Amino acid sequence: SGESGAGKTESTKLLLQHIMNLCKGNSQLEQQILQVNPLLEAFGNAQTVMNDNSSRFGKYIQLRFQNNTVRGAKLSEYLLEKSRVVRQDTGERNFHIFYYMFAGLSSEEKEMYGLLDPSLYRYISGRFGTEDVAQCWKQKYQEVCNALDMVGFQEQEQVDMQAILAGVLSLGNVTFEPEERNGSVKVSEASWGWLKAAAVSHKSQLACCVPCSPWSSSVSCCCYLCADARDSIAKVAYGRVFRWIVCKINELLAEKVDPEVELSEIGILDIFGFENFAVNRFEQLCINLANEQLQHFFNHHIFQLEQAAYKEEELPWETITFNNNEPILKLLLAKPLGLLSLLDEQSAFPQATDKTFVDKLNSSFKGNLHFQPGRGHVLGFSILHYAGKVQYSAGGFLEKNRDTLPATVRGLFINSVTPLLSVLFTGKILHVGLWQCFGLLIFLCPGQHSLMMLMERMYSANPHFVRCIKPNSQKEPGVVDSQVVLLQLRYNGLLETIRIRRDGFSWRPSFEEFAER
């Protein structure tokens, strides 16, 4: 765990390499486990203002062993930041794979996918990059292709996948205008070329993918809803592709042993770090909530269980106090009046808006020490997290929480003549995430119970915590800002951890080990 850009993903890769080296097997499976990273980073990472290679999803890696040899592995992904596909803030980029494709595809391949100059696409923000950067992206694209081959993607599957990605970009340029005759909305004349490019890429007509709400009060509102539907299609299509890639990886890495054989396991949780941007949205709340839960998990093991053991053995011990973040978790997760429960409640009402949601929060949490209403006419609120105060912009909270896709769109994809599109939307892809594991955002993944089991496993296992500390806020190598470091040491509870390690008992052999020694 740690802030965004502190080095969590890089530390995870080093830890995996270390474990593989300790196995000394050098088997094909061990190499495959190490080589899936380029694929995951290309589709799940992006440049942010805090980190040039920021993980925009969380992952839990389960390594399964028999006689100190890796026999299989499983990857669980959760909460991919799909909104990044359709919008990036200033100084940020879309997912890496889009830039890799523009840099790595040949002219003939770009023509086949209907790709033009990257500066023309609304979903691709900012400057494309220098020649050196483009060369680096070209090399990264080749690594992705090699990884796809290694994982076992068929050539046609790879073609279909890139066609979908190209179609997503073209779809983003489709705009809408009023229909003069009957007051409805149609695709604008200027964007018919983009619609055709998206339809060719998807091998299906997307004109019927932009449904308009029948209770819209105005044509301009209907145009807005159509644009929302367009963006929803893009986000869902990309999310399904990412989930499909993870499923293919798990097929490759699955253990091939007798089910009766008992395997030991090492699990590595690599979660996105605590974030506090100039503008913080629904995604940042989810990310920071997950970090709150991890901090609580850390506190539970390092402080509560440890000091309880000393008291049980009647050792002389002066209780060490720590920053307990349970009140913040109660504010966010309590039922029926926690923030997420109130968000669910508002999402169930068709007439509810982001403003009614904020009004509900202001009335429900008046006087709460960890909640502050937005000032002036700002539609938002602030949460005093364990790592500091974060101001959230409430715009889009209800829509993102609902995360719905029109049934007509789903049916269109299911009946697509492109086999991959049909597979992505028929529910054959099993989604395994982690949210229920932390007791978080269950409304995002209804009906899944595997995550609760995972949390039980984590609490029953022997956890080791890797705390990643960010040296500076400028993304500069070799520079240590002592104030930035000290702030992280304080809010992570590491100063109290040092004290409990110094005053406590760091080496605890069993009685049998002690007697034998």
Structure tokens at 244: 């499909």
Tokens of 384: 């005093």
In whole angstroms, what is the distance from residue 441 CA to residue 341 CA? Answer: 9
How does DSSP assign 248-309, residue by residue?
A: HHHHHH---S-TTS--EEEEEEE-PPB---SSB-HHHHHHHHHHHHHHHHHHIIIIIIHHHH
**Candidates 48, 54, 347, 497; catalytic one:** 54
In this structure, the chain runs to a length of: 517
CB neighbour class for 301 (10 Å; exposed up to 12, middle 13-18, buried from 19): middle
Between CA 327 and CA 369 the distance in angstroms is 9
Distance of CA 94 to the CA centre of its chain: 14
6 is in an annotated binding site: yes
Residue written as token pair 């054959």: 428
- Active-site position among 77, 275, 292, 496: 275
Residues near 259 by beta carbon (within 8 Å), at least 6 away in sequence:
none
What token pair was written down for 32?
């495959």
Segment (H or E) for 461: none
Radius of gyration of the chain (CA): 25
Buried b (16+ CB within 10 A) or exposed e, 137-151: beebbebbbebbebb
450 an active-site residue? Answer: no
Q: What are phi and psi of 328, to 5 degrees?
A: -70, -40
Respond yes or no: is residue 4 known to be catalytic: yes
Ligand-binding site membership of 5 (annotated) = yes
54 is catalytic: yes
The verdict on whether 179 is a catalytic residue reads no
Catalytic-role residue among 1, 48, 51, 232: 51
Q: SS3 for 222?
A: helix
How far apart CA 414 and CA 156 sit, in angstroms, is: 18
Nearest to 322 by CA among 334, 306, 310, 333: 306
Whether 51 sits among the annotated catalytic residues: the reply is: yes
Quickly list DSSP for 478-492: T---HHHHHHHHHHT
- C-alpha 471/C-alpha 484 separation (Å) is 7
The residue among 284, 305, 329, 294 whose CA lies nearest residue 84 is 284
Say whether 8 counts as a known binding-site residue. Answer: yes
Torsion angles phi and psi, residue 106, rounded to 5: -75, 165
Contact 65, 264 (CB under 8 A): yes
What Cα–Cα distance (Å) separates residue 407 from each residue in 200, 214, 397, 412, 499?
22, 15, 22, 9, 57
3 marked among binding-site residues: yes
Annotated active-site residue in 1, 12, 45, 55 = 55
Q: Which residue has the tokens 């990472």?
A: 45
CB 337 within 8 A of CB 361: no
Say if strands 380-385 and 69-78 run parallel, antiparallel, or are unpaired.
unpaired
**Nearest CA among 332, 458, 401 for reference residue 76:** 458
Could you confirm whether 5 is annotated as catalytic?
A: yes
User: What are phi and psi for residue 490, nearest 5 degrees?
Assistant: -75, -50
Binding residues for ATP: 2-9
Q: What amino acid positions are annotated as catalytic residues?
A: 4-5, 9, 51, 54-55, 273, 275
